[in-house]
Amino acid sequence: MEIGHKLGNFHQYYDFHPIDGRIALLSEGVFEELWRASGSPAKFSWLDIGCNGGDLTVEIHRRMRREVPEAVECLVVGIDLDEELVRRASSKTRADPRCPEPAFPSPKSTS
């Protein structure tokens, strides 16, 4: 996809809009609250639509894992229409034996 911002697919988005300020707006324990409000499921899933380079998705995964009880399986999936951004997002995932990493399927696989 063409590099640009016609569809919001800024390739340097997190250089000028880092996640810290927005993450700081989320109160401690908000993911546990959301999990409980969802009926305390054994598998807690999160879909991030328009994940860009994945910075926020990876942080959401980290917060979910920290706040939701350990026995709960967490699944975080980030999707974006820009294949290059999805490739970058995929490179940021980290291994966590308690939880599948955020998954970033290629836009080609979802079309």
List of residues contacting ligand SAM (CB under 6 A): 7-9, 13, 49-52, 56, 79-82, 85
| Strand extents, DSSP E, 10-82 | 43-49, 73-79
Pick between residue 10 and residue 34 the one whose CB is nearest to ligand SAM: 10
Pick between residue 73 and residue 84 the one whose CB is nearest to ligand SAM: 84
Around Cβ 110, how many Cβ atoms within 10 Å? 9
Give the closest residue to 64 by CA, choosing from 39, 44, 37: 44
Tokens of 76: 């975080």
Pick between residue 8 and residue 105 the one whose CB is nearest to ligand SAM: 8
Pick between residue 62 and residue 72 the one whose CB is nearest to ligand SAM: 62
Residue nearest to ligand SAM (CB): 50
Long-range contacts of 91-95 (CB under 8 A, 24+ apart): 92/53, 92/54, 92/55, 92/58, 93/54, 93/58, 94/58
**Minimum distance of ligand SAM from residue 11's CB (angstroms):** 9
**Minimum distance of ligand SAM from residue 55's CB (angstroms):** 6
